[in-house]
Amino acid sequence: MDVSFILIVLLFGAGATYFVGDKWASKAALIFSLAAFAATVYITYLFTAGENVSTLKLWIKSPRIFLAFRADGLSLLLTLLTTALTPVIVFTSFGNLFPKTRAFYALILFMAFAMAGTFLAVDGLLYYIFWELSLIPIYFIALLWGSGNAEERKKAVVKFFIYTFAGSLFMLVAFIFLYQRTQSFLNFHLYNAMITPQEQTWIFFAFFLAYAIKIPIIPFHTWQANVYQKAPAAGTMLLSGIMLKMALYSIIRWQLPIAPIAAVQYKYIIVGLCIAGVIYGSVLALKQNNLKKLLAYSSLAHVGLIAAGNYTLTLDGLRGAVIQMLAHGVVVVGLFFAAEVIERRFGTQQIDEMGGIRIQSPKFTSMFMILVLASVALPGTFNFIGEFELLYSLAQINIWIAVIGGTTIILGAFYMLRMFQQVMLGEKNVKAFTDVTFNEGLAFVLIIGALLFFGLYPKPIADFVTPELEKILVYINRFNK
């Protein structure tokens, strides 16, 4: 068994979910997503036992394109995040009734297939195919099952599609240029491509444009808040919990080791841009009255810090970024699910129409409070580990950058706790808020359990990913002694 089996399970599951019909679609999607997670765990076990679970097969002779999927500490962690969150996202959707149910759940599995393929592929063109494939399901999920005015939703989704697709074309041009030099799309061949510093600059920014839009980094963020707001809860979770990690992962896997000279040359500019996003996202979050928009801008601030850690070109920065990718993925899914639970009962996303939930549902209030505290990186939670290492990496290149980047914790605590006060506290709301169901409670327990466990014991993750990051740093530093 190799890592391609994970992709086969997800792709077959998407097809089977569609053909079993609307009645059984949700259950089929849950079964296949759990099977994909189980397969990922087993393959990770085989990898740690020393077995070769990667695959390399010639797919197309001219140009030479390989079905190349590599298992290592970095790719497997992000694949584990994908296959762990997918069944949670499917399960949290059970409380909603969707028209064309089979298509909805099939698209979720197909998107998980595309995202897992992006993390595992090490042939540049194969990676690009998976990267673009992930756009298709989220486009239809947001367009067909989103909320609000249909015309506004269509406008937001089309803008997102065009932005991300256009940015990705620059990355494709970079891959074609590199192929002309190496006659290969395999990443370890591209790492050793003989290209001049000026050519590295063009390649670096071609990749950066694709990744900056997807993450997003300001000023390429304008699509984000509207799509997060308009998409259904499952779509928002897929976007924020997993999809934006594709770009953060790709910075480490593709951009930095292919163009290391340019990465060093423009390090402070890019880190500064990322830190500006931290401040900008936090300030915008302070002004929001829409709960999903507030969480969207909060996510913009957090991923800006993750991106900044990547571009420090330090081991602590890369490792902190990976840890925070996982932590952010888990907590943001929990927060958007909490927003969905509130909207199911109150029928609104507006914060000033909420309040009084604590009196009616102490259990939900407690779980939501834990998620808020994890989001602001309270010590003992998973997010604290990642943010601490990211800030430490920033301090290694410039202490003032670390100080400014640390404002994400201060501002985050302010707007998240203020939001909690407005949404959960106060006198009893005239609208009834029924207590969480067993299914909802189980989803929250799983999410909170992961945040607390890895917050207290992050060593397995750090030990698992560090060897691969050290190998990548060798390529990054080879011209920069």
**Distance, first Cα to last Cα, the chain:** 41
CA distance 120 to 235: 22
Angle at 468 between CA 467 and CA 474, to 5 degrees: 95
CB contact at 8 A, 253 and 74:
yes
Output the six-digit token pair for 317: 């920065």
Per-residue pLDDT in tens (0 to 9) along the chain, 481 residues? 899 999 999 999 999 999 998 889 999 999 999 999 999 999 999 999 999 999 999 998 888 999 999 999 999 999 999 999 999 999 998 877 788 899 999 999 999 999 999 999 999 999 999 999 999 999 999 999 988 778 888 888 998 999 898 889 999 999 999 999 999 999 999 999 889 999 999 999 999 999 999 988 888 888 888 888 888 999 999 999 999 999 999 999 999 999 999 999 999 999 999 999 899 988 999 889 999 999 999 998 899 999 999 999 999 999 999 999 999 999 999 999 999 999 988 888 899 889 889 988 999 999 999 999 999 999 999 999 999 999 999 999 999 999 988 887 888 899 999 999 999 988 877 788 888 889 999 999 999 999 999 999 999 999 999 999 999 999 998 766 5
Long-range contacts formed by 414-421: CB under 8 A, 24+ apart: 414/286, 415/282, 415/285, 415/286, 415/294, 415/298, 416/298, 416/372, 416/375, 416/376, 417/372, 417/376, 419/291, 419/294, 419/351, 419/372, 420/368, 420/369, 420/372
pLDDT of residue 222: 83
Closest CA to 392 of 319, 470, 461: 319
Q: How many residues belong to the chain?
A: 481
Structure tokens at 16: 């089977």
Contact 55, 6 (CB under 8 A): no
Residues ≥6 apart with Cβ < 8 Å to 297? 225, 281, 282, 284, 285, 288
